[in-house]
Structure 1
């Protein structure tokens, strides 16, 4: 897929906060289904999701439902839970105007019908920011349709960017979408397998969080780089130093450039090179 940058920016990146928070909460239904039905892995990889650009949806890994391949997902564009069997749309449940209690009834019934374990009582090993919907209100999505679509386009862009990064870096792992942070990323291994401590560089897209109230692209080496003497990084990049050390390019800064595709690619590749050089000196 070659992302069409002309489709991005219909809504300002900073106007997506409410849509992002609602989507982040709704996504937890998919993560709960995976947690209930898949064997646990220490790195929580069993609850990682994939991004389906055609459906504008986050999808679970295949769930054990007999001979069929069943996935559950959350469609950003339709703001709905979706069920797939053998990659065909099976059912969906629009969340707008509904409370989580109603969602639980439908979702658990659907899980049982498919021969899967129910998900509504699953506890997540993390907490999310409190929202009215978490306190019993319905999902109020009025006026957010365009924002949901814009968020989906940011994730499309991220998927396209990460596909190029993986193609150019043989030690990069697959794209994983994390329900806790609501981001998509790929990890480039710097050390050979089994080396301790492992060094790596995570490249990803966040739709926004407590640090930036807008989508941003990041390049985050591990172990954490020392903030002192980090080299200057060209616009639209900047160094983020609070809670984590990473090169970051915000949505607003990215869209200021007349050639955003080339600009973002250059930023990411430069930041990866810096990360490799600095990690090599640890």
Structure 2
């Protein structure tokens, strides 16, 4: 089955249980990084990459005894892994196990390569209730993990392409990374140097769903926020969001309403980015 078919196999609004389970498991990766890496001012030491070839999330590289080590999370099959550049990969199936058991396994393999355990790491943020209350991975996994992986893969590829297409901008695009707090995957295209609170830029990302939209959605958020009263027509197939933040949004439903998913997403991102760039830099 092609990746687009995986996306279309389950309605975007039905991915909530799969999203919460993956979001909870992703915290194990960020805890391992926080235990072993010096803190970055922007917290980027704790974020994750999406490995499209392996179809899994991976932590930042950790300094293992024999070289770089990564902690991975595959959604299908649903399993934790330690990827050691010197000795290979160790795998822990998560199905039917508690998160405490998963942390114990992870700490053992981290210590085996002279790394610090992550069990006692406190996260500097609160997780949504449906994520924070998960303590065990059920024997019967919710539908949607394969579809959720396909959404992340679609986003990662689209954002890498957009960053490459705008490689001439300076300072330019950040690496495409998944942020475990909100579980969104994004790049930030800086349009000028300076204080991040005031310097112009455009955030381009995908949330797998949150309190704003209960389904995956893509966003293009110019910074500083655009004036809601002066917005042009929204880039198709999306709409303008003006409550709490101002940005162009294309929900999963809106993307899937188009005949060609990848083409619709690419067109939406490019049109929204061009609008943001034009209005910010005029």
Superposition TM-score, scaled by structure 2 size: 0.91
Match of residue 99 from structure 2: 100
Q: 2:6·2:146 contact (CA, 8 Å) conserved in 1? A: no
Match of residue 16 from structure 1: 15
Q: Which moved more, 1:220-229 or 1:150-159?
A: 220-229
Unmatched 5+ stretches in structure 2: none
Secondary structure, counterpart of 1:8 in structure 2: helix
Q: 1:82·1:89 contact (CA, 8 Å) conserved in 2? A: no
Match of residue 161 from structure 1: 158
Unmatched 5+ stretches in structure 1: none
The change in CA–CA distance for 1:209 and 1:87 in structure 2 (over 3 A counts) is: farther
Determine the C-alpha separation between the residues in 1 that align with 2:154 and 2:58: 17
Match of residue 33 from structure 1: 32
Q: 1:82·1:92 contact (CA, 8 Å) conserved in 2? A: yes
1:272 paired to 2:270: no
Q: 2:95·2:141 contact (CA, 8 Å) conserved in 1? A: no
1:66 deviation in Å? 2.6
1:35 deviation in Å? 0.5
Secondary structure, counterpart of 1:106 in structure 2: helix
Q: Deviations over 1:191-241 (max 9, x none)?
A: 146798311101111111111111111101111222222111143111112
Match of residue 136 from structure 2: 138
1:5 deviation in Å? 3.2
The change in CA–CA distance for 1:88 and 1:277 in structure 2 (over 3 A counts) is: farther
Determine the C-alpha separation between the residues in 2 that align with 1:100 and 1:228: 47
Q: How does 1:80-229 map to 2 (within 5 A)?
A: 80-86=79-85, 89-131=88-130, 134-135=132-133, 137-140=135-138, 142-144=140-142, 146-170=143-167, 171-192=172-193, 197-229=198-230
Secondary structure, counterpart of 2:90 in structure 1: strand
Q: Which moved more, 1:231-240 or 1:153-162?
A: 231-240
Q: 2:67·2:86 contact (CA, 8 Å) conserved in 1? A: no
Secondary structure, counterpart of 1:180 in structure 2: coil
Superposition TM-score, scaled by structure 1 size: 0.91
1:6 deviation in Å? 4.2
Determine the C-alpha separation between the residues in 1 that align with 2:217 and 2:196: 31
1:269 deviation in Å? 1.1
Determine the C-alpha separation between the residues in 2 that align with 1:258 and 1:190: 33
1:14 deviation in Å? 1.0
Q: Deviations over 1:145-172 (max 9, x none)?
A: x411100011110111012101111122
Determine the C-alpha separation between the residues in 2 that align with 1:141 and 1:274: 47
Q: Deviations over 1:82-133 (max 9, x none)?
A: 11011875211122222222222212111111110010110011010224x7
1:268 deviation in Å? 1.0
Q: 2:187·2:204 contact (CA, 8 Å) conserved in 1? A: yes
Determine the C-alpha separation between the residues in 2 that align with 1:74 and 1:224: 34
Report the RMSD for the aligned CA atoms in angstroms: 2.0
Determine the C-alpha separation between the residues in 2 that align with 1:87 and 1:213: 41
1:231 paired to 2:229: no
